[in-house]
Amino acid sequence: QTDAYDLDSELAYWLGVAGGSAMLALLLYPLRKRLDRYLPLGRLRYWFSGHMVLGIAGPVLILLHCKLSLGSLNAKVAFWSMVVVASSGIVGRFLYAQLHRGLYGRQRSAGELRSEAAAALEAAAPMLDQHSRAHAALAAFARLAADTGRRGLAAPWQQLSLPWQARSTWKICVADVLRNHGRVDPADLQRLTTLLQQYLQAACAAARFGAVERLFSLWHVAHLPLVLILALTAGFHVLAVHMY
């Protein structure tokens, strides 16, 4: 009995056609962005959503098409080009989320994040009166965050370690409040911890904003050429399959 899902079967062939078409359709989103001024074709957010869906569906269909069995050299090149592009897309999605509010939200700014941090800290300040260790920890963290923001990509270890420093600062502040007050009203403690979390998260986001913005710019430069390389290698693979 013939295996219905053999690599040479009709099902595998059409899975490859569907996956390749989905990957080719990824080029429609950057094209749509460049034509927006001259030929508006629907809201960009829906195109972006479709771009991400195709970016997931295409590789999945190709994986089903080849069953991780890479025979010829052109098949290997096309497959690994797809892996590189898909990985690049995941990185881009992560960087995008750091710079925007939600999936379709507007882009934030470092100044806006610093304002959010200042507002949260100002709201928490009355609850931190007479807590010298908490004040010292927050001041040290503020200096570290400011220095990290100034240095940007020149201080990768500081960028990576800043969230851990924020967590340590949060623990010091909460422990200082509990030690000096003994019994603290649960509602007040909850409000304080929430405000401290908001401050520390906004301060971290502001500190890494410049570095993430730069990385996102570099990612844009690299991603489209990778997609074009994938289109060429996939096209050569399709041509080779039909010729031989």
Phi and psi at residue 100, in whole multiples of 5°? -130, 160
In this structure, the dihedral spanned by the alpha carbons of residues 68, 69, 74 and 78, taken in order and rounded to 10 degrees, is -10
Residue 209 CA, distance from chain mean position: 13
Residue 174, beta-bridge partner list: none
Return the structure tokens found at 86: 């898909």
**More confidently predicted of 81 and 104:** 81
Q: Each residue of 35-62: pLDDT tens digit?
A: 766 666 777 778 888 888 888 888 888 8
Q: Each residue of 87-129: pLDDT tens digit?
A: 998 898 888 888 877 655 567 788 888 898 999 989 888 888 7
Gap between the Cα atoms of 5 and 107, Å rounded: 46
Whether 159 and 208 have beta carbons less than 8 Å apart is answered as yes
Q: Each residue of 203-224: pLDDT tens digit?
A: 998 888 888 888 888 998 888 8
Gap between the Cα atoms of 79 and 108, Å rounded: 36
